[in-house]
Amino acid sequence: MRKLIAAALALLFATPAGARDPVDLTELAARLLPSVVSISTVRLVDTPGQKGQAATVARKRGMGSGFVLTEDGLIATNRHVIDGAHEITVTLTNGTTLSATLLSKAAIDIALLQVQPDLPLTPITWGDSSAVKQGMPVVAIGNPLGYSSSVTSGIISALERDIRTSPYDDYIQTDAPINQGNSGGPLFNLKGEVIGVNTALQSQGDGGSIGIGFSIPSNDAQFVIARLQQFGRIKPGWVGVRVQKLTPMIADAAGLPRKERNSEGAIVTGLDIGAPAIGILRPGDIVVGVGESTLKDARTFNRAVAVLDVGSTAPFDIWRAGKRMTVEIPVGDSPDDIKAGQGKAMADMANDFTDPPDLGLGLGPITADIRTRYEISTDVTGIAVVTVDPHSRSSEAGIEPGDVIQRVQMEAVGSVREFWAQVDGARRNRLTRILLLVRGPSGERWVTLPSA
């Protein structure tokens, strides 16, 4: 009996034939970490004032991840990480903190930032996401829940996932643990190449990882980044055609030849006003190819059209009335993308009331109510101090509600936006202190505050 029990235990705990120990990722992680950054943001949320008080703005902090594209400080991240941000700060793996400027962003969840490093950064190396296979081991690096430079590992769980974030969804699914704050960080293969941009996760309860995360394929990310660098927007091809997936039943009802009824493709449901395809395609046409791309469904149709160059002409392979033919369609510029590309610059995102970074001040324009309450004469210009955090350096410097800030770094300021521009400029120039001319009940005085 003892021998039988021993044999059973040996079988239970034996290492399966061909099994290997877990991969040692120490060298890979050490090599990749310098290319990954943590991103922190501040968004400004309006807080209506109580009766008789001016409105103020609350500062809402956010976090995410990103990765280095060029030695001179071009950074990629997710658009949703920085959307609506008034301040963007990038922290390198060595702890260096840099102020970031938003260059451009896309509806496909990618954004580009620029920082000004003192020393060259370490760029990532792109991998080919079309070569990714289900089951491949991967490594994710990022800033989950604010824990910077965190490394997790897993495998590719699935490909071509549609999570309904855009008409082009084609996500890589991974079980590498991804949490809030990982967004915008890279997904690496074991060669150290970026094969995806971590973007979304499926979660339950507290929002933590349950082993279902999604990444934008690297080939898609490279396409979007190249377009953003060239045009400031994606500038996708557009023919103005709406389609849906071709099913065997639709193929049968549409009169597709019997031997073609198992074909994949998309059937035209309608055309947009002003569409380049008007007069060429019509509802009921079955599109099976665009250029060199064959189609599976509506998503692959949208993706095939999007990569076409605006101003070019592309062949579309279609079935119509039981006959296969090829038609040529001019490729236009998407009205939606043109409109999205005309959004406000980051400096214009600030509201009339804003809160400068880390100074403990609530600021606003000098309204009639402010002038009356604090007895500010009509000839005084600048911006009003509405609130002061009693634990801040501003309070230590003697700044009080009712004071008026008239100059920053010797330059006159007439709005809070101008104040922020001067503070941001001081930070970019690596100044350790900011110089303010403040007017109070006893007159003007110069005050200095730490820039960070």
> At CB < 8 A and 24+ separation, what contacts does 13-17 make?
none
Alpha-carbon distance of 357 to 42, in angstroms, equals: 8
Q: If you search the block for the tokens 């061909």, which residue do you land on?
A: 18
The two structure tokens encoding residue 246: 């071709």
Alpha-carbon distance of 149 to 151, in angstroms, equals: 6
Q: Rounded to whole angstroms, what are the CA distances from 154 to 31, 171, 174, 211, 393?
A: 18, 16, 7, 9, 46
Of 99, 63, 212, 165, residue with least CA distance to 452: 99
Alpha-carbon distance of 401 to 38, in angstroms, equals: 35
Q: Give the residue numbers annotated as catalytic, written as ranges.
A: 80, 109, 183
